[in-house]
Amino acid sequence: MSGIFTVKDKKEGKVGIGKVPKKLEPILDKISEQYLKEVPDKDASTYHTWYDHMTPEIKSAVEQIQKDTFWNELCDNTENCIMISASEMDELYYSNPKNNLNKINLYGAAGNYDIHRDCIYDFNGIKFYRVIIGLTNGNDNIVTHFNNLNVSRKMNKGDYIAFDFDKSSHQVIKESEKRTPRILLKIHFIVCEKCKYSRDYVERIKGMYLKYEFVTRYIMQVGTDPSTFYQFFFGIMCMFFMSEYAKYIVFLLIGISLLLQYKTKFIYKNITKISLRSLLFLISSYVIVVFFYWSRYKLTGIR
């Protein structure tokens, strides 16, 4: 398949896997060399730097990547295409996953290692793409896998993956128990093919993606490697909602809360009272769970 995309699927969207143009590799080397010096703890699971917080030298190099004409291929050769960079979401990402991922609590990082989609929107005629670019070599272990398309990539220098932010389900898989540090660059574009809308409208839709990303980014960042009660609150939230058993646990707790209210008649005028009590029971149960994990960490150092 020609162009940037290698797979096109109605349900999963468009996914592209390949190599960036050779002319960009020296820029990637420069970014990687500079950024590695800025990572404070090379043993940490993750370290993020968002575009607005990059040093001027690194930001200048990243801009060269963002503005390269290669990304125009995200329009997929369609006419009247509007493509806008969402640089506010762009980031440099140091990743060094811990061993025994299936035996430890991942908290804020849980979303990366379970099958997931990055966003929830579905705007007619408008697509949002995340592009991940490898900046370092030596990765023979960490796989980015698109489970419903059965395509994968071990990201090394110059590799890129472009995928539909809303549709493409994927996960990160660690094949063996060894630490494998990587540096990745994530850039983002909103694309309106054969566009029937104004550029201002597409910009407004972009704003909705930015708001969604800033909220989820904050929750995941705060909840990764938690140490305070506040951090555990968000970290367990990430881990819980990625669990396949989450909905069953919620239904069970709602059932228990209703049983505890057996003396309250289930009639229309009591619906608000019953609902508020059930909500309070759910929140209280969650806070108790968070308190358990936080206090265990404080007493034993176990996350």
* For residue 108, pLDDT beyond 70: no
Distance of CA 254 to the CA centre of its chain: 29
Mean pLDDT within 261-272: 84
Please list, in sequence order, all residues whose beta carbon lies within 8 angstroms of the beta carbon of residue 108, skipping any fewer than 6 positions away: 219, 220, 221, 222, 223, 224, 225, 226, 234, 235, 238, 239
Q: What is the dihedral of CA 182, 213, 204, 131, to 10 degrees?
A: 20
Amino acid 72: pLDDT: 96
Q: What top-level class would CATH report for the domain 7-217?
A: mainly beta
**Whole-prediction pTM value?**
0.84
CB 46 within 8 A of CB 94: yes
* For residue 2, pLDDT beyond 60: no
| Residues 303, 299: Cα–Cα separation, whole Å | 11
Structural element, H or E, at residue 57: helix 56-66
Amino acid 239: pLDDT: 77
Residues 275-295 have pLDDT tens digits of 999 999 999 999 999 999 999
Q: Which of 49-58, 106-115, 221-230 has the lowest mean pLDDT?
A: 106-115
Residues 145-155 have pLDDT tens digits of 999 999 999 99
Amino acid 139: pLDDT: 95
Amino acid 43: pLDDT: 86
What percent of the chain has a predicted confidence (pLDDT) above 90? 66
